[in-house]
Amino acid sequence: MIVENIHDVQKKIKEACKRAGREETEVTLIAVSKTKPVSMILEAYQAGMREFGENKPQELRDKARELDFPLNWHMIGNLQKNKIKYVVGTACMIHSIDSVSLAEAVNAEAEKKGTRCDILLEVNIAAEDSKHGFNPEQIEETVRILCRCKNLRIRGIMTVAPYTENAEENRMYFRKMHEILIDINHKNIDNIFMDVLSMGMTSDYEVAIEEGATMVRVGTGIFGERMYPQKDNQGKK
Ligand SMILES: *Cc1c(COP(=O)(O)O)cnc(C)c1O
């Protein structure tokens, strides 16, 4: 099943690239394996997947330890400062940098470990109260501050677009994200060239690709629905 899902997603990526006049190689598919067991990640690995996304620092660290293969782990979820140690040196990229102080703490941890960390700045593109991320207007000043952090490589920007049944509704947000990336690259800020646009999930990755996404993060479309354990009878949607 997982193998077929991966082939299906890859085919749709290919078709979206074609529609947009883009090369297939410009888009990296990240299989979002959060909450899913290592056995399913192995299945995806055997189908050729090498990029995996996790949203919990310890879960990422534990899975990376258990799966001793050349995999790339992407940290895509909210990150608290006391958990940075689990991902710096393990994750190939942190997509979810949502404050200057968090980025500076990641820089410090990377320095301590003698490494450099690739990061993306998360943008709250639809200004949703429920979402983390910078406002679009804050991106330039943030980049100008963080470009001095020697152990960070600011590779680009990421967004989690609003939940919708109709992917077309997110097209304008994806387009805005692409514009932000182009604008920043035109500013000629020291050491800054951003080449990563991480956007698009199961419900809208084809539209995201048409609007310039270079990384899409697909969970449900590869591994199926996620089951969350009920907590205190409150459940989680
Ligand atoms: C869970 C998650 C995804 C994948 O979502 P699906 O709808 O299952 O494809 C992508 N990005 C982030 C940040 C996530 O937390």
Confidence class of residue 56 from pLDDT cuts 50, 70 and 90? very high
**Mean pLDDT over each residue of the chain, to the nearest integer:** 95
Q: What is the pLDDT of residues 100-131, one digit of tens each?
A: 999 999 999 999 999 999 999 999 999 999 99
Determine how many CB atoms are found less than 10 A away from the CB of residue 171: 16
Assess whether the C-beta atom of 55 lies below 6 angstroms from ligand 1.
Answer: yes
Confidence class of residue 191 from pLDDT cuts 50, 70 and 90? confident
- Residues 154 and 208: their CA atoms lie apart, in Å, by 21
What is the best residue among 76, 98, 222, 223 to mutate for testing ligand 1's pocket, by most ligand atoms within 8 Å of CB? 76
What are residue 157's phi and psi, to 5 degrees? -130, 160
| CA-wise closest residue to 117 among 150, 71, 156, 159 | 150
Q: Which residue has the tokens 């598919």?
A: 29
- Identify the residue with better confidence: 232 or 236: 232
- The alpha carbon of 213 is separated from its chain's Cα centroid by a whole number of angstroms, namely 11
What is the best residue among 55, 121, 209, 222 to mutate for testing ligand 1's pocket, by most ligand atoms within 8 Å of CB? 55
Q: What is the pLDDT of residues 21-31, one digit of tens each?
A: 999 999 999 99
Q: Which residue has the tokens 């805005």?
A: 176
Residue 36 has pLDDT above 90, yes or no: yes
